[in-house]
Amino acid sequence: MASRLWEDMSTETWGISILEDSKYGYDHPTEDTLRMTLLYTPKTRPLNGFRDQKYHDWGEHTIHYGIFGHVGSFKQTDLRARRFNQPIRSFNIKKDHPNPVQENISLFEVSDSQIGILAVKKPEASEGMIIRLYERYGVPVEGKIHFPSENLRLREVIEMNGLEEQVGKIEQNEKSFKVQLEANGIRTYHVQFQPRSTPDTSCESIEIIQEPVTLDYNVKMISSQGEQLGIFPRELIPSKISAGPIDFHISNSDMYNALQCKSQNVLLPKRYTYTTLSILLASVEDTKFPLTWFDSANRVIKEVYLPVASMTGYVGQWDTRIWKKKPTHTENNKRDYVWMNTCIGVHPGYINRHRLEWYSTHIHEHGEDRPYRYGYLYTIEIQIPENTESLLLPDNPLITIFAITVSNQMVDVESTHHLQDKYDF
């Protein structure tokens, strides 16, 4: 039997649930046994082809599952399973000013724990908020969604289908609307808010002061189709790339539009005391990016070494099987599905943990398009030491800088968890 997130076996007074994050198959071999399948490799036969399937499970498997014993029915299990699959993420927030905003207010409240939340997001093609709900216990339910904040007042609520197409309007007042869900049902609502009649005085607006750094470009990295020099397609790369609140301004010059690192000394703007340096860059291969900070007397303040990822290739791969013979697919080989080959090993999977800011669907090489060879631009963000006057770039022509922006960021948010797959740990 198939399931997702959890499976339960209960009596009238107690029960046991299995929680999981990636397995869908269970069976019930005896009355008091519940079994979850961890691996199920297809059986192959010599004359039936598709022999590669017997190697499908070669590689590293990361499987999380837990056992949850409970009193009464299974009604606590779904919440536990959601928390197991979507643990709370914590972030370290560093700020240089007080925050008067209430920290215990909810975006919205659900009146009944039988109603679960699948998604809260922006709509695909309009303003407002999409809320997707589901029924948890296998019994029809009615409830209410309430918005407690004084800054949020409802203008209109529309029921949508899964494609975000309008189904019908929902009755509501300024602060709440009613919902009805069938057993195991899913409903999607598009919530639109009234414009504020007065400014929100409960929250101080924080303006990030920023300024682009003047660079003496010396290499052509952005090109049009047919030009011999350049890697990134001019028709794809925008004039401005935003990295959150920070803007990078891209040169669109037909001559030089990037800076190849050759020990240049870069002066920082003096209009303001900036705290953060953001660099948009690329590299021919994975390498180190050394930076040296100088004061006004040309004395070294600090040296840092930062990793830089390659601007081509893949940002991640699953485990990849290694075949004894190189696989070939030709018109003459009509029965290549037979797969007369043997798996002799596995290249381990990996993921690139650098901050990818922009990518192109293809690159240029010798004046020609190279489809599906992706090009990547990465962001490095570092704190500027006090009394810094200038920055010395490395003598490494493999590294190319497209833009540098200095800014004064009063709030620094850092995740205390890894927000990517756990390859390479």
Task: Among 83-97, 209-223, 228-242, name the one with the lowest average pLDDT.
Answer: 83-97
Among 1.10.3470, 3.90.930, 2.40.128, 2.60.120, name the CATH number for the domain at 209-315+352-415. Answer: 2.60.120
How confident is the model at residue 353, as a pLDDT?
A: 86
Q: Give tens-digit pLDDT for 304-341.
A: 999 999 999 998 888 899 999 887 765 566 666 778 88
Q: Give tens-digit pLDDT for 259-284.
A: 999 999 999 998 888 999 999 999 99
For the chain, give the mean pLDDT: 89
pTM attached to this predicted model: 0.77
How confident is the model at residue 244, as a pLDDT?
A: 87
How confident is the model at residue 93, as a pLDDT?
A: 82
CATH number for the domain running over 109-193: 2.60.40.1180
How confident is the model at residue 236, as a pLDDT?
A: 95
| % of the chain with per-residue pLDDT over 70 | 92
How confident is the model at residue 25, as a pLDDT?
A: 87
How confident is the model at residue 181, as a pLDDT?
A: 96
Nearest to 293 by CA among 163, 389, 369, 220: 389
Q: Does residue 77 contact residue 17 with C-beta atoms inside 8 Å?
A: yes
Q: Give tens-digit pLDDT for 41-59.
A: 888 887 777 888 889 888 8
More confident residue, 99 or 254: 254
Q: Is residue 425's pLDDT more than 50?
A: no
How confident is the model at residue 145, as a pLDDT?
A: 97
How confident is the model at residue 205, as a pLDDT?
A: 58
Q: Is residue 62's pLDDT more than 70?
A: yes
How confident is the model at residue 282, as a pLDDT?
A: 96
Hey, where are the domains in the chain? 6-88, 109-193, 209-315+352-415
Q: Is residue 34's pLDDT more than 50?
A: yes
More confident residue, 90 or 156: 156
Q: Is residue 365's pLDDT more than 70?
A: yes
How confident is the model at residue 337, as a pLDDT?
A: 73
Q: Give tens-digit pLDDT for 399-413.
A: 999 999 999 987 778
Q: Is residue 187's pLDDT more than 50?
A: yes
